[in-house]
């Protein structure tokens, strides 16, 4: 072997060009192998394009060959930031000319039953409302539409409509998706929605000239975006409108774009369209945006845009602009050492980080943590570096559940969340970060079953321990905080002993999502819980429900059942 190496060394000394040529070929081959391995895995950058093979995972939907139709103007003529549109929409999408007959796999009734079971799984993000007639000349849903004749699923249609801020998603002919704010057709028989989805044979995607329509729960408030603005709803004109909305301008050629741009220039977070008048202001006690009216009361066409709605003198169509409401953005440490330690206790995945964000905005003081998370510190939680006993923060985040740890606190806000959602949120955090998502391989591998087996019992014992050993415990359900943020935040702030003015809490409502809340639009296309898992978790829910009622508290919310 030594002789062979010596001969090679002498050979390459005599012919160095060949040596360097072989070395270059070796390095080039290694680089190609490295590049291939880098592209063969699943992309880790959020929002990056995905291959068809990866489309079955929980990432962004793979749309395949599709047609997008907005029905306003050609994409080339649209401004870079996109357009903002009100409830008036019109689609120019055309129906395929070669429609065939649906395959009979067990008959229409069996497919309808399978579709209904699939709809039950979708109810967290959407609610199925029925089968409706459709017409190629006069569409039932007149917003955006797209077709995918290979991979259309109920989830993909719902997700794309919700992401664009529509209220309804409808599927037709097994492969067509239509979005809209208003259903403009009559009901049809359920048996007429009898075509399987092209990418999901177990579910129903309408029929020939028939739409399976869902109302999107995610297309509410912060999810209903129109370009850079957020649609807040239709509201009755406040009594002292000139005080509630101090800036105004007459616009004979009114449009959503013009009013939003005017209020943005004037640095107001709210733009209110009142027919031919654009009004700007802040959410306040005079105009709290708590009592929505039927959107049809605001459905008066804009003078400059036929397919937009501009409200009226009595009913205002309100949008939130990109201007930040600074009335609740100032934060600092407590001016003097806190006399009591207040815990913000929750099971992991129950929304503790989001609750901290809300509390800091509502009180103006930083929150602390029993732990240290550098990523949260870098995102603005400046109390993260303080020792949890420093007394400089308004409350302390903790996931601890032992008697000794619980008794270290003088009082606590106990945040409880539906265990099915909390477990999935914590699993996403563990494998994808605070606002990221676990990869498809983690859900399908051994990690998920092991995680549920270890963490599901802890969900119950965590609540039971805090109810048993906590000195003064305020129970707040995550679902109630989402549903009625203003009232629940008032309860939390009262326990913290801070007086927060009503205008500041209204400001928090407008800034509630921040950068610390995981997007609800990206969800699994299947239920990861097995029958055995659901049986065990249902038992834990009953145990916690009984413990809450034993202490004269309201039990767990109804949406924890049935499962």
Domain limit, last residue, from 216, 237, 261: 216
Is it the case that residue 106 has pLDDT exceeding 60? no
In a shared domain, residues 360 and 391: yes
For residues 221 and 332, the model is more confident at 332
DSSP state letter for 62: P
DSSP state letter for 373: -
Residue-averaged pLDDT of the chain: 79
Beta pairing partners, 250: 277
Q: Is the peptide bond before 210 cis (omega within 30 degrees of 0)?
A: no
- Cα 138 → chain centroid: 32
* Element spanning 9, H or E: helix 2-14
Is it the case that residue 111 has pLDDT exceeding 90? no
Residue 251 CA to residue 277 CA, distance in Å, equals 6
What secondary structure, in 3-state letters, does 160-205 show? HHHHCCCCEEEEECCCEEEEECCCCCCECCHHHCCCEECCEEEEEC
Answer yes or no: pTM beyond 0.75.
no
Structural domains in the chain (count)? 3
In a shared domain, residues 387 and 530: yes
Question: What integer is the mean pLDDT of 213-221?
Answer: 69
Under DSSP, is residue 528 helix (H, G, I), strand (E, B) or coil?
A: coil
In a shared domain, residues 301 and 173: no
Residue 438 CA to residue 419 CA, distance in Å, equals 17
Q: What is the CATH number of the domain that holds 262?
A: 3.50.4
- Cα 496 → chain centroid: 29
Inter-axis angle of helices 352-363 and 502-510, to 10 degrees?
140
Question: What integer is the mean pLDDT of 81-106?
Answer: 37
Is it the case that residue 480 has pLDDT exceeding 90? yes
pLDDT tens by residue, 441-463:
889 899 999 999 999 999 999 99
Question: What integer is the mean pLDDT of 316-322?
Answer: 90
Question: What integer is the mean pLDDT of 224-234?
Answer: 73
Domain that holds residue 377: 342-560
In a shared domain, residues 239 and 175: no
Which alpha helices (H) appear in 209-281, and where do they start and end? Answer: 241-244, 256-265
Residue 563 CA to residue 60 CA, distance in Å, equals 26
The answer to the question of residue 97 being in a domain is no
Spatial contact of 244 and 288, defined as CB atoms under 8 Å apart = no
In a shared domain, residues 411 and 477: yes
Spatial contact of 194 and 173, defined as CB atoms under 8 Å apart = no
In a shared domain, residues 268 and 390: no
Q: What is the CATH number of the domain that holds 356?
A: 3.40.50.300
Residue 210 CA to residue 187 CA, distance in Å, equals 9
Residue with tokens 């994808």: 432
pLDDT tens by residue, 390-415:
999 999 999 999 899 999 999 999 99
In a shared domain, residues 460 and 531: yes
In a shared domain, residues 231 and 136: no
From the list 63, 46, 64, the residue with the least C-alpha distance to 519 is: 46
From the list 245, 328, 342, the residue with the least C-alpha distance to 501 is: 328
């Amino acid at each position: 072997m030594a002789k062979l190496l010596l001969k090679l060394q002498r050979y390459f000394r005599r012919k160095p060009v060949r040596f360097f040529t072989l070395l270059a070929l070796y390095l080039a081959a290694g680089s190609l192998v490295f590049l291939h391995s880098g592209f063969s895995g699943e992309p880790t950058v959020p929002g990056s394009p995905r291959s068809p093979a990866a489309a079955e995972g929980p990432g962004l939907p793979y749309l395949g060959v599709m047609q997008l139709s907005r029905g306003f103007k050609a994409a080339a003529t649209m401004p870079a930031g996109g357009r903002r549109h009100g409830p008036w929409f019109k689609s120019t999408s055309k129906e395929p000319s070669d429609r065939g007959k649906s395959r009979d796999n067990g008959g229409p009734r069996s497919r309808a039953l399978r579709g209904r079971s699939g709809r039950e799984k979708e109810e967290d993000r959407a609610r199925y409302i029925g089968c409706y007639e459709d017409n190629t000349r006069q569409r039932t849903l007149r917003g955006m539409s797209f077709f995918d004749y290979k991979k259309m699923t109920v989830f993909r249609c719902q997700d794309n409509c919700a992401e664009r801020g529509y209220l309804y998603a409808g599927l037709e002919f097994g492969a067509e998706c239509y979005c809209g704010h208003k259903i403009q057709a009559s009901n049809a028989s359920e048996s007429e929605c009898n075509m399987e989805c092209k990418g999901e044979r177990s579910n129903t995607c309408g029929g020939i000239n028939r739409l399976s329509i869902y109302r999107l729960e995610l297309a509410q408030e912060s999810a209903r975006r129109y370009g850079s603005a957020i649609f807040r709803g239709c509201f009755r004109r406040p009594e002292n409108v000139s005080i509630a909305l101090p800036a105004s301008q007459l616009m004979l050629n009114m449009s959503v774009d013009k009013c939003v741009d005017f209020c943005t220039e004037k640095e107001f977070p709210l733009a209110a369209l009142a027919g031919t008048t654009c009004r700007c202001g802040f959410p306040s006690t005079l105009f709290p945006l708590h009592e929505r009216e039927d959107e049809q009361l605001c459905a008066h066409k804009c003078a400059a845009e036929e397919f937009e709605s501009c409200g009226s003198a009595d009913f205002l169509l309100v949008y939130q602009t990109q201007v930040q409401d600074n009335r609740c953005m100032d934060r600092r440490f407590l001016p003097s050492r806190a006399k009591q330690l207040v815990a913000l206790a929750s099971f992991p995945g129950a929304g503790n980080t989001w609750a901290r964000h809300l509390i800091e905005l509502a009180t103006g003081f930083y929150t602390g943590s029993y732990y240290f998370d550098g990523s949260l510190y870098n995102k603005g939680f400046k109390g993260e570096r303080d020792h949890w006993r420093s007394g400089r923060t308004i409350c302390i985040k903790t996931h601890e559940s032992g008697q000794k740890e619980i008794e270290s606190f003088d009082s606590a806000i106990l945040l409880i969340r539906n265990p099915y959602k909390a477990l999935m949120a914590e699993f996403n955090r563990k494998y994808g970060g605070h606002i990221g998502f676990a990869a498809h391989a983690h859900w399908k591998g051994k990690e998920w079953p092991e995680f549920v087996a270890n963490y599901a019992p802890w969900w119950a014992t965590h609540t039971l321990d805090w109810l048993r050993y906590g000195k003064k415990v305020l129970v707040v359900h995550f679902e109630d905080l989402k549903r009625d943020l203003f009232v629940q935040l008032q309860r939390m702030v009262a326990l913290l002993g801070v007086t927060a003015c009503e205008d500041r809490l209204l400001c928090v409502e407008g800034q509630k999502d921040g950068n610390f809340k995981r997007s609800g639009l990206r969800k699994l296309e299947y239920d990861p819980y097995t029958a055995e898992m659901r049986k065990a978790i249902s038992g834990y829910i009953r145990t916690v429900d009984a413990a809450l009622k034993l202490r004269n508290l309201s039990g767990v919310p109804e949406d924890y059942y049935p499962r």
